[in-house]
Structure 1
Amino acid sequence: MLKPLSAFVLSLMATAASAQDFPVTVEHAFGETTVAEQPARVATVGWANHEVPLALGIVPVGFARASWGDDDGDGLLPWVVEKLEELDAEVPVLFDEGDGIDFEAVASTRPDVILAAYSGISQSDYDTLSRIAPVIAYPEAAWTTTWREMIRQNAAGLGMAEEGDTMVAEIETRIEAARDAHPELAGKTGMFVTHLDPRDLSTIGFYAAADQRVQFLTDLGMDTPQAVREASEAGKYSGRISAERIDLFDDVDVVVTYGDQARLDELTENPLIARFPAVSRGAVVLLANDPMGTAANPTPLSIDYVLDDYLARLSAAATRSE
């Protein structure tokens, strides 16, 4: 695992941030945001943006409650719990985003900056949040920010762009070492199916090439199938294709999806799904509503937490594709 940052290193980071010239300006999909001075109170909305300041030794005053993968119901994922304990910090305010952003709850934390580099905020959301504090939004399109961009974009909003680059480089080194231990994945194609619902098999939903679940498979040495690349629309994180065209996925070696073995067994009895070579061979990685399933959508703190186990599952599926 990546070694936790020492108190001395965290102190150096804080000194570097305070020494950096402010204001800083960050460009994003809604224009640009200027942060006038080093933020003392950081809030985040959307998915996992709080992991960037935490990794940099900054405890946010509030962030979104975890709903997916939270197997003990405390609103925190295990790698976030570990980081808070490492920083000897109490649990901040947790925003309930089940019905969208809780603007009042965000405002109540009195943030100096709001990080939302990986999120689906709309122009209206952005405008409302901007009345509370400067907002760092996603670079291009909703839910298409990569983990690298999440780190760099949010770190820039904190005035810690160099530290963000360092964090990215450290994670890339860890991924490379783990990937090198699994050469059997090289050249294999991986498709991340959004769901396979026995009640509706008229279409196959999949995460598009721009989605970071798919890009994470690429990080791990796999290729994106041609059919997925061709069916992926610019700026979209997911897509659908008629199940009658399932033969387009003949070049898929491994399928990753959410569900359990019972559902997969039921699906393979369907004549259309039976024509999906990877599924019929059992070259499937099944993810549950647990930390592993959550971390397949990689975030700064989760990558190292699940990397070896995820690679082991992909490797086992890849051997069944031969």
Structure 2
Amino acid sequence: MKSVWLAALAAVAFATPTHAQDIVVNHAQGETTLSGVPAKVLVQDWATFDNLNALGIDVAGAPSSNVPGYLADKVPAEYLQLGSLFEPDFEGIAASESDVYFVSARSAEAYGTAKDILPTIDMSLADNSDILGGIKANLVKLGDIFGRQAEAEQLNAALDAKVEEVKAAAADKGNALVIVTNAGNVGVYGPDSRVAWIHNQLGIPSAMADVEDGDHGGDGISMEFILETNPDWLFVVDRDAGTGETAGAAAALLDNELVNQTKAAQEGHIIYLDPQAAYITMHGYQGVMLLLDQVLAGLNA
């Protein structure tokens, strides 16, 4: 009798369906529970797309605009277009029956609506003064969600090694202004900006004390100020090119009598950073690695 009961119990155990273990994710706007590893992934932010792609995770849906050039060949030929960075297509998102939806930065406001449609995670960084640390933390978080912990660890190790390489190349090379050009205007980016790592993590001192970051346009300056400050290096973010408006506007704007008298210009120390990696996907792993390589090439030229 006992053997019959045990056999029946075993049959019930094998017949009971197994459920994937829930994954609880803490993020910028709260806590989200996923019912297992997500299979169908939507993302409303190109930096998060960058990080997912670096980890080898397929994405089913992404923004329909502002695709960074360095990511263009990584976007699936046929993917669900989710609207702009600022205006998601919530109807399409709801109809997709996806497992997770990532927002961040420009799309963070979508969280309030999206969280009632499907599991939504905000990957926004809280502190621009440590962008590289934020990228590493986001890679770890995504690695935990998708079971790609080893890949995240490898990427973070490569980032640390690249930073040390560029930091060594920058030692004793002088100071710099990190400037952003926007519709004919010029501003300085500083220790709280979207490219703050140039100063904070690479150790390249700012030629301008007490920069008040305006983030989009920086701390406004004139061409006369650039000459007066006379930096050893100029790192340039062309916002117009980054947003797809006018390519090459920064180079044309800075090719003038005043800037051309600076040490940076005369020594060939003006480095034009990839505008989309610097302005659109400043929190993306592959974008930052691209920027670090550009800085390294400029320093070693």
- TM-score category (smaller protein): 0.5 to 0.7
Counterpart of 2:252, as a letter, is A
Aligned to 1:32: 31
Deviations 1:66-110 (A, max 9, x none): 526439xxxx524x26xx7xxxxx643243416633323333332
Aligned to 1:109: 96
In the TM superposition, what is the alpha-carbon distance from 1:166 to its structure 2 partner? 3.8
Q: Which residue of 127, 136, 142 corresponds with 1:148?
A: 136
Aligned to 1:192: 178
Deviations 1:250-308 (A, max 9, x none): 2743222224543322xx246xx678664576532235xxxx43334462234555654
Deviations 1:5-56 (A, max 9, x none): xxxxxxxxxxxxxx9953323131x233333432121111122212222232
The structure with more radius of gyration:
2
- Contact 2:128/2:193 (8 A) holds in 1: no
Looking at structure 2, the residues matched to 20 and 211 of structure 1 have their Cα atoms a distance apart, in angstroms, of 41
Q: Mapping of 1:72-151 within 5 angstroms?
A: 76-78=71-73, 80=74, 91-97=78-84, 100-117=87-104, 119-123=105-109, 125-137=110-122, 138-140=124-126, 146-151=134-139
Tell me, what secondary structure is at the counterpart of 2:42? strand
Q: Which residue of 295, 298, 301 corresponds with 1:313?
A: 298
Aligned to 2:22: 22
Looking at structure 2, the residues matched to 142 and 46 of structure 1 have their Cα atoms a distance apart, in angstroms, of 17
Q: Mapping of 1:1-322 within 5 angstroms?
A: 22-28=22-28, 30-65=29-64, 67=66, 69-70=68-69, 76-78=71-73, 80=74, 91-97=78-84, 100-117=87-104, 119-123=105-109, 125-137=110-122, 138-140=124-126, 146-158=134-146, 160=148, 163-177=151-165, 179=166, 183-184=169-170, 186=172, 188-195=174-181, 197-198=183-184, 200=185, 204-216=186-198, 219=201, 221-225=202-206, 227=208, 230-232=211-213, 239-243=218-222, 246=225, 250=229, 252-257=231-236, 258=238, 259=248, 261-265=251-255, 268-269=256-257, 278=264, 283-287=269-273, 292-296=274-278, 297=282, 299-304=284-289, 307-316=292-301
Looking at structure 2, the residues matched to 274 and 309 of structure 1 have their Cα atoms a distance apart, in angstroms, of 21
Change (3 A) 1:56 1:129: same
- Tell me the TM-score normalized by structure 1: 0.64
- Contact 2:189/2:218 (8 A) holds in 1: yes
Q: Which runs of 5+ in 2 are unaligned?
A: 1-18, 239-247
Looking at structure 2, the residues matched to 134 and 228 of structure 1 have their Cα atoms a distance apart, in angstroms, of 44
Change (3 A) 1:196 1:305: closer
Tell me, what secondary structure is at the counterpart of 2:235? strand
Tell me, what secondary structure is at the counterpart of 2:47? coil
Looking at structure 1, the residues matched to 234 and 100 of structure 2 have their Cα atoms a distance apart, in angstroms, of 39
Looking at structure 1, the residues matched to 163 and 204 of structure 2 have their Cα atoms a distance apart, in angstroms, of 16
- Identity of matched residues, %: 20
Over aligned residue pairs, what C-alpha RMSD do you find? 4.0
- Tell me the TM-score normalized by structure 2: 0.68
Q: Which runs of 5+ in 1 are unaligned?
A: 1-18, 85-89, 317-322
